[in-house]
Amino acid sequence: MQGNLTALLITAVIVLSVVCIGFLAGRDKSSRASVEEWSVGGRRFGGLLVWFLVGADLYTAYTFLGLTSTAFTGGSVAFFAIPYSVLAYFIAYFFLPKLWKVAKTHKLTTLADYARERFDSKLLASLVAIVGVLMLIPYICLQLSGIQDTLQVAGTGFINVKFVVIISFILVALYTFFSGIKGPTFTAIIKDILVWVIMLFMVVSLPLIHFNGWTPMIDTLVKEAPQMLTIPAEGPKGIPWFITASIVSALALFMWAHAATGVFTAKSADAVRKNSMFLPLYNIVLILVIFLGFIAFLVLPEDTDPRLALLHLIQTSYGGVAQGFAYATIALASLIPCSIMAIGASNLFANNLYRDLIHPNVSQSKLTLVTRSMVFVVIGLALLFGMLFPTALVTLQLLGVSGMVQIFPAIAVSLFWKQQTKEATVIGLLAGLAVTFIVYTTQSAHGIYEGFWGLSANIIAVVILNPLFAKKAGSNPVIEGLFGKKQAPNPNQRGA
């Protein structure tokens, strides 16, 4: 189907304008003066900025395109995204403020930093960093896929889609290198406002355009596709999958490097706590997106590619101007999260692999440059991987959730369990990853989300093995700060 030139031009103008704002956000040299300034903004962001940043970070183009696709093919199974995010913020309310305080006190910028200082273990920190980087690159690839799909629908017949995608991501890498976290933070405000406005506009107008209102649309859905409104009791994606997928996804949400980066930018633990209370507002958008998938199922031809369902629904329903704003919103929902993810992955690599394992005496100025430069490596790998293995992206991202949840005991549980040992935690993490991989490759999940089996093995291993190593457990400033009399942090403590 031919693209729409008006829509393409509007999309290009909006996206390029936002990229320019990303560059302007970092015009102050202090934005890149240190790793802490570049990656977490010196921890000076107030509650509203953090809300926009974390919202832009977690609600990506994959959220909109992926949920619509899931609703288009699987109906109400897509609603698992609602309870999982509600659970995630409820759980985060209790552990994120404690984690933020430790990070602030000890100048930590990654979850792997926390693991190193909490357990005096560079090994555990390296494992957390490796898992974080490996699981995040497919997620960045999905953002590439989102903008590529958008340009494919909007620009067919007018542009070379792959060339424009490459240029777009190079621009994002440049403004991320230049501006650090300030770039995606200020552009996130624009993206989030567009998301709310455009999604509300679509959810009001599309039922009117195609069914003369919501009530006739729901009536049509009940009559023609009642299976879309129920969750199967059994099968590969039945109720057990729905429940376990919600639990695992909730526990994994703030284990992602980019989510932690957003949290660490906050200026206070109270700002983090308030965000856990107000971030569920984004669920309104998620519910609307799922219903857009139902509308697409009723309106579009049966042979429609589910991945493009939302984009084709926009294309067949609106003129060029409305298309342009909708496409621009989805494109920004690809590019801005990509920037935050690249910061998170670069920070893990530079701080917890390069510094901790390769060059422990690196100067702060060189470490800052290495961290910033890794953005080009991370985004380059994502581009390469996405173009070589495009069909594997969604599968790998879903496996990524199952992988990321395995660090939950090392991070969240350890904030509340003083006697937790590094040995049991390392073994549990490795056991969880191994079980997840085995269940996934052998397709023996039995209707349960793969990561649930891995996390169960992980927790069982930690609980059983921890008493064997408890006598060796020592203390350090992080443990004392969490459970005992607070001590001044030791900046030279790097663990073993």
CA distance 272 to 266: 6
Q: Read out DSSP for 84-133?
A: HHHHHHHHHHHHHHHHHHHHHHHT--SHHHHHHHHHT-HHHHHHHHHHHH
CA distance 115 to 318: 50
Domain 5-26+42-97+132-393 part of CATH 1.20.1730.10? yes
pLDDT at 197: 92
CA distance 97 to 120: 22
The three-point CA angle 8-13-14 to 5° equals 100
Kindly state the DSSP code that residue 158 receives in the 8-state scheme: T
Domain positions in the chain: 5-26+42-97+132-393
First to last CA, the chain: 59
Q: Read out DSSP for 424-439?
A: HHHHHHHHHHHHHHHH
DSSP-H helix ranges across 300-355: 309-317, 320-347
pLDDT at 487: 47
pLDDT at 490: 55
> Tokens 């494109």 map to which residue?
331
For the record, the structure tokens of 217 come out as: 């649309």
pTM for the model:
0.89
Rounded mean pLDDT for each run of 10 residues along the chain, 496 residues in total: 81 91 84 88 89 84 84 88 91 96 94 95 94 86 81 78 83 89 89 90 93 93 90 83 93 93 93 91 87 93 89 92 92 88 92 90 91 91 75 64 95 95 96 94 90 96 95 87 67 50
Q: How many CB atoms lie within 10 A of CB 444?
A: 11
pLDDT at 153: 86
pLDDT at 273: 94
Are 22 and 179 in contact by the 8 Å Cβ rule? The answer is: yes
For the record, the structure tokens of 55 come out as: 């919202």
Rounded alpha-carbon distances, angstroms, from residue 30 to 38, 39, 182, 183 = 8, 12, 11, 13
pLDDT at 167: 87
Beta bridge partners of 266: 45
